[in-house]
A and B are shown apart, each in its own frame.
Chain A
């Protein structure tokens, strides 16, 4: 069962990005993945900003990244790019932390004008971390993420294209499995 780590990088306590990340985790579990979600805001801030990888909670996340077959990296769009908080975590990962992994970039934003933040801002960082395969990413408009009780649902038109991307990511991981087993 290919394992997936879902990182969400919004500083907000009521983050739509984090809620969307949980939503995607549910779908990925249904598709036969072991999935763990991590909110960067729950890590010790001092260790995060000083890049202290000896901090136990930070070290544990670094290990979780290393152990995952696939990583979903989710961020709100802040100032036309990923959040600084997400970047603080990515900064303290080892140089090629994403080597051999499939990675799915997902961003949420307030304006469709910033759809390209996925490919122009986030994707190059994931490539620099040595990702083996950064699959097609997706931008979700914040108003399309609708709270339903503790969880969220996606607005009608937003659902299909996002699920296609997420399922494609899952397919890549399932297809890659034999290769990983052989090594």
Chain B
């Protein structure tokens, strides 16, 4: 049986976090969809709230301190990435963007990515396609066509065509197809040539 590694990035600020719940559901649905294809998954969660301090340090001082370096390695080294952010002011959160900012140019090129976002209401659903998707276009990831936006009112366990559960399953099926077809990420995920953020800034 083949195995694929999955990094699950979630950037919720509150506890409990609906962003984390969405990330977990997407990961579970992906594991099910891959199992149907005879592929096993190994999942690693990166909870940015717990790393917020290291993320800011890294952005301000250039050194990826504490758990951040490991988190970056996990994300960069994984075969696929599930990235979920809360929507604040019509876009991804500052914490989410700061994590992306410290990644080296090209770090995610070609990686299959499933996008998710949470918000209080459906009013900002388009933020996924107008803010998140262009960011990942710049990162040159293989982004799954279906992204999952979950508003507070979506968490009602309904299972019709337009329900959250249905959308999660559809996105996960597309993601599993991409993961199954794509070659595993090369290397061990250890970035020996990790470029600290201060050097990225110096490079301009």
Binding site for B on A (CB under 8 A): 11-12, 41, 45-46, 48-51, 78-91, 93, 110, 120-121, 124-125, 127-129, 142
Q: Select the stretch in B97-105, B109-117, B144-152, B161-169 that faces chain A.
A: B97-105
Residues of chain B lying within 8 A (CB to CB) of residue A89: 94
Contact A79 B101 (CB under 8 A): yes
Interface of A, secondary structure class, is helix
Count the B residues whose beta carbon is within 8 Å of the partner chain — how many?
34
Residues of chain B lying within 8 A (CB to CB) of residue A46: 52-53, 56
A-B contact count, CB below 8 Å? 103
Binding site for A on B (CB under 8 A): 13, 49, 52-53, 55-57, 59-60, 88-101, 124, 130-131, 134-135, 137-139, 197, 201, 204
Contact A79 B60 (CB under 8 A): no
List 12 extra interface pairs beyond A12-B201, A83-B98, CB under 8 A: A79-B101, A81-B131, A81-B134, A83-B97, A83-B101, A84-B97, A85-B59, A85-B101, A87-B93, A87-B97, A88-B93, A128-B91
CB proximity of A125 to chain B, nearest CB, Å: 5
Give A12 to B202 CA distance when docked, in angstroms: 9
Give A84 to B99 CA distance when docked, in angstroms: 8
Given that A80-B135, A121-B134 are contacting pairs, would A91 and B53 also be in contact in the complex, using a CB cutoff of 8 Å?
no
Contact A125 B91 (CB under 8 A): yes
Contact A87 B94 (CB under 8 A): yes
Can you give 20 A-B contacts (C-beta < 8 A)?
A48-B94, A51-B13, A78-B97, A79-B101, A80-B134, A80-B138, A81-B97, A81-B138, A82-B97, A83-B101, A84-B59, A84-B101, A87-B92, A87-B98, A91-B89, A121-B134, A124-B91, A125-B89, A125-B90, A127-B90
